[in-house]
Amino acid sequence: MRVQILKSPAPIESKPLELWDMPVPQPGPGQVRIRVKACGICRTDLHEAEGELALPKLPVVPGHQIVGTVDAAGPKTGRLKPGDRAGVPWLHEACGECGFCRRGDENLCDRPVFTGYTVDGGYAEYALAQEAFCCALPAGIGDQEAAPLLCAGIIGYRALRVAGVRPGETLGLFGFGASAHLALQVAAHWGCKVFVFSRGESHQTLALGLGAAWAGSPADAPPHPLDRAVSFAPAGAIIPQALSRLVKGGTLALAGIHLDEIPRMPYSLLYGERVLRSIANATRRDADEFLALAAKIPVRTKVRLFPLEEANEALRLLKQGAIDGAGVLAL
């Protein structure tokens, strides 16, 4: 099978992903093999490729927003059968035994396994997945449009929940890529007034087309203060800007897995019981809730397709902010 494999991290401009031919993997107990139809491109993949995240496995096949059909099933499976459509998210498996798992916070598991990070992922023609952690996908959403839902969508939904967004509130979204363009649609469905902060004019135009009430740059003052905010940008400089827009008692959630340094800032930006929270992974419950909601709204996913051979180029464009919506590898 063809795969894009990372042997050694390097700037994405040097094309660190290499197209290889590897044996088709065989599913073990509890596993299913997925014939990949589409795999979403995530900023986490870029952080891996460029070495901004410590990699527990090298070489590794990136990709954790996998949509495909079950091709084979190993022992101790039964929920999914060959021919079934399935999605494979970032959380490949949680231990189920640590204190976090026992209290329902499997996203904070002490011994997690992550798709395309701890184990090989979906930049490939076939991928293995734990049956218990596969997602059922909405029938009305195509393979390529469904792929970004499996990380960008689920994480965006969790970020809204962790931020405490309530119907009718004013929400600020900082950075407008794959995750934000999906979170915007959820918030709009809840009756929120959404203000989008992005330096890209095309991103601002897309946001307004998807229902944002206002769009501008992070330095611009919105029409009025924010009740809640979510930052999807990997830039710590956004944090004081976002906090300065929050009302007292408001919450800013940070939805990225990687962030550069947070700058020094006056305590007055946090004072007034403002809250700063990070988002770490997601649970199967988050996935089930979001995917059901995505089908109900229904969420519109704007995708730009790339062949597997162009994975490096897709990540380069993502780094430059040159993809409106979500990038997807189509296999």
Per-residue pLDDT at 46: 97
Tokens standing for 4?
A: 């894009």
The per-residue pLDDT for range 6-41, each reduced to its tens digit, is 999 999 999 999 999 999 999 999 999 999 999 999
How far is Cα of residue 324 from the mean position of the Cα atoms in its chain? 15
Per-residue pLDDT at 205: 95
Q: Is 277 helix (H, G, I), strand (E, B) or coil?
A: strand
Strand bridging mode 2-6 / 17-21 = antiparallel
Per-residue pLDDT at 254: 97
Per-residue pLDDT at 209: 94
**Which CATH number is associated with domain 153-278?**
3.40.50.720
User: What are the distances in angstroms from CA 49 to CA 7, 12, 315?
Assistant: 9, 7, 9
Per-residue pLDDT at 196: 98
Tokens standing for 270?
A: 């946090």
User: What are the distances in angstroms from CA 323 to CA 205, 265, 308?
Assistant: 13, 31, 17
**Delimiting residues of CATH 3.40.50.720 domain(s) in the chain:** 153-278
Per-residue pLDDT at 8: 97
Per-residue pLDDT at 241: 95
**Delimiting residues of CATH 3.90.180.10 domain(s) in the chain:** 2-149+281-330
Strand bridging mode 193-197 / 170-174 = parallel
Per-residue pLDDT at 121: 98
The per-residue pLDDT for range 63-77, each reduced to its tens digit, is 999 999 999 999 999
Tokens standing for 235?
A: 């830039």
Nearest CA-CA partner of 146 in 135, 156, 155: 135
Instruction: Give 10-residue mean pLDDT values along the chain (331 residues).
Output: 98 98 97 98 96 96 98 96 97 97 97 98 98 94 96 97 97 95 97 96 94 95 96 93 97 93 94 96 97 96 97 97 95 95
How large is the C-alpha radius of gyration of the chain? 19
pTM tops 0.85: yes
Q: What's the CATH architecture for 2-149+281-330?
A: Alpha-Beta Complex (3.90)
**Phi and psi angles of residue 189, each rounded to the nearest 5 degrees, phi first:** -60, -30
